[in-house]
């Protein structure tokens, strides 16, 4: 591979709102990774910590990325194979100026990419840093240093395990079924579960970048079925499904039912706020409106936030607060550097279940009463902008908000419609005061969108 291929054409679409991601090797290969490493090394101008997941292409992408960082004179601290939370922990805990992890998170095996991390583990996004790195990479603007950087190794896992163990109080061990989806989460989850004395049935903890059992995306119901089946058959107390890079976890209650993030946030926030009254709780604008009154009743300050987990982390880290949660299962806590960490989230849930003496279904039950929400509905459209405009005209008498997409509120119901950043799809969420109104408005809005 040439060190500096000025003629290399990089697909600009791989630079997304808060990471770099594409099909490998069609969109991301070693040459592209080398250019991204050069660009990020130039942008940061300092030593950085870098890790990778267990995808088939990750080792080669890592090596090329690291060469790019070294090419512009910056050193790389190599974490080797690790979870995204371990990488973020290394940045925050050991005060590195930046970091990067080679991963495509929950995407299918043909994908790969890079998450770029700044100081305090704030992830680069379209509103901070990503545009600059993109310009440097696409324009091949990085300059070769006379003195090249070096690579040294760091094993962060022991320190990470000790940190988690010190942050979570002891709890009564329960029977768990945990699914790592052949992603990387089992690397840290297995030793932590053992340290806490948990009885765990492990599913697909062996990292395998081909993901032979199911895709590592717990947001899709089909990827939860193996855990659901085993929870019911083995009469386990809880089911857990990690995503591919370990930064989030989904929960299955003792009856085999998926626990919605909205209700889990409400339950946890109420417990956390008993000890930390007045704390800010950042919540996803797609959540039930009842989350607002729940947080206020518990003595907290609810802060409505647009979609995208890096935005929650950034606000929690830089503006302060108690915790945050996003619809797709990312939970963040101030006490854990504001990081979204599926394993820390699991330990928090186990701690509160033990302290409250409740099953998972009992823990969230009070917050599910009289809540009628659609869940996210994805609709293919040729012109997403036209769909938003049509709905804004139709519901112009409602309270309109454009924090993220289009939100329209009425006293008895509300909806949010957001366009996808990468495909001709709009994402619809609706809540109403009763099931009949929810059904009526869902049909009404979908008809408008389709027309």
Residue ranges of domains in the chain, CATH in brackets: 12-155 (3.40.120.10), 158-248 (3.40.120.10), 261-368 (3.40.120.10), 372-450 (3.30.310.50)
Q: Which stretch of 124-128, 316-320, 347-351 has the lowest confidence by average pLDDT?
A: 124-128
Which listed residue (105, 188, 288, 328) is catalytic?
Answer: 105
Residue 2 clears pLDDT 50, i.e. is over it? no
Angle at alpha carbon of residue 350, lines to 349 and 351, rounded to 5°: 90
Give the separation between CA 359 and CA 69, rounded to whole angstroms: 49
Pick from 365, 376, 343, 359: nearest CA to 266: 365
Please state, in angstroms and rounded to a whole number, the distance separating the CA atoms of residues 19 and 15: 6
Whole-angstrom Cα distance, residue 316 to residue 167?
18
Query: Got the DSSP string for 11-65?
Result: -GGGB-SSSEEEETTTT--HHHHHHHHHHHHHHH-S-EEEEE-S-TTHHHHHHHH
pTM of the model: 0.94
Handedness of CA 106, 107, 110, 115 (dihedral sign): negative
pLDDT in tens, 226-251: 999 999 999 999 999 999 999 999 99
What's the rounded mean pLDDT across residues 42-55?
Answer: 97
Q: How far apart are CA 332 and CA 359, in angstroms?
A: 22
Q: Which of 140, 87, 113, 105 lies closest to 27, judged by CA?
A: 113
* Active-site annotation holds for 58: no
Q: Does residue 1 register a pLDDT over 90?
A: no
Give dist(CA 93, CA 44) in Å, integer: 18
- 449: which 2 tokens? 């969108």
What is the bridge-based pairing of β-strands 249-252 and 301-305?
Answer: unpaired
- pLDDT at position 416 is 97
Distance of CA 315 to the CA centre of its chain: 15
Residue 3 scores a pLDDT above 60: no
Three-state DSSP class for 373? strand
What confidence category does residue 252 fall into, taking pLDDT thresholds of 50, 70 and 90?
A: very high
Q: Please tell me the distance from the alpha carbon of residue 258 to that of residue 260, in angstroms, as a whole number.
A: 6
Tell me phi and psi for residue 388, to 5 degrees: -65, -40
Beta bridge partners of 323: 281, 333
Dihedrals φ, ψ of 217, to 5°? -125, 95
């Amino acid at each position: 591979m040439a060190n500096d291929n000025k003629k290399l054409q990089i697909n600009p679409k791989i630079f997304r709102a808060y990471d770099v991601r594409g099909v490998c090797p069609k969109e991301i290969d070693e040459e592209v990774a080398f250019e991204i490493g050069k660009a990020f090394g130039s942008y940061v101008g300092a030593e950085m910590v870098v890790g990778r997941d267990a995808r088939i292409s990750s080792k080669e992408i890592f090596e090329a990325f690291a060469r790019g960082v070294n090419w512009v004179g910056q050193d790389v601290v190599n974490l080797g194979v690790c979870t995204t939370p371990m990488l973020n922990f290394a940045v925050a805990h050991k005060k590195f100026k930046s970091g990067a992890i080679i991963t495509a998170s929950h995407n299918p095996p043909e994908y790969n990419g890079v998450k770029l991390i700044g100081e305090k583990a704030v992830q680069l996004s379209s509103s901070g840093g990503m545009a600059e790195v993109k310009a440097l990479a696409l324009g091949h603007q990085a300059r070769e240093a006379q003195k090249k950087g070096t690579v040294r190794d760091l094993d962060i896992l022991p320190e990470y395990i000790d940190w988690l163990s010190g942050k979570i109080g002891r709890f009564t061990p329960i029977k768990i079924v945990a699914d790592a989806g052949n992603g990387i989460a089992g690397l840290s989850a297995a030793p932590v579960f053992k340290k806490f004395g948990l009885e765990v049935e492990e599913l697909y903890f062996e990292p395998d970048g081909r993901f032979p059992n199911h895709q590592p995306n717990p947001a899709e119901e089909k990827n939860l079925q193996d855990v659901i089946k085993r929870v019911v058959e083995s009469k386990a107390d809880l089911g857990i499904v990690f995503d591919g890079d370990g930064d989030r976890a989904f929960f299955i209650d003792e009856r085999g039912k998926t626990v919605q993030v909205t209700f889990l946030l409400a339950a946890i926030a109420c417990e956390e706020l008993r000890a930390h009254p007045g704390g800010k709780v950042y919540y996803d604008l797609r959540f039930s409106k009842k989350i607002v009154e729940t947080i206020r009743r518990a003595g907290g300050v609810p802060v409505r936030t647009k979609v995208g987990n890096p935005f929650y982390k950034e606000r929690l880290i830089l503006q302060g607060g108690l915790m945050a949660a996003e619809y797709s299962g990312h939970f963040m806590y101030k006490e854990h550097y504001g990081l979204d960490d599926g394993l820390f989230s699991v330990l928090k849930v186990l701690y509160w279940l033990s302290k409250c003496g409740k099953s998972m279904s009992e823990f969230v039950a009070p917050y599910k009463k009289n809540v009628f929400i659609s869940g996210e509905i994805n609709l293919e459209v040729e012109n997403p902008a036209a769909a938003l405009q049509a709905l804004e005209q139709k519901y112009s008498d409602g309270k309109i908000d454009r924090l993220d997409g289009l939100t329209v509120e009425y006293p008895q119901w509300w909806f949010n419609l957001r366009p996808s950043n990468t495909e001709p799809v709009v994402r619809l969420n609706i809540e109403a005061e009763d099931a009949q109104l929810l059904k009526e408005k869902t049909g009404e809005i979908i008809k408008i969108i389709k027309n």
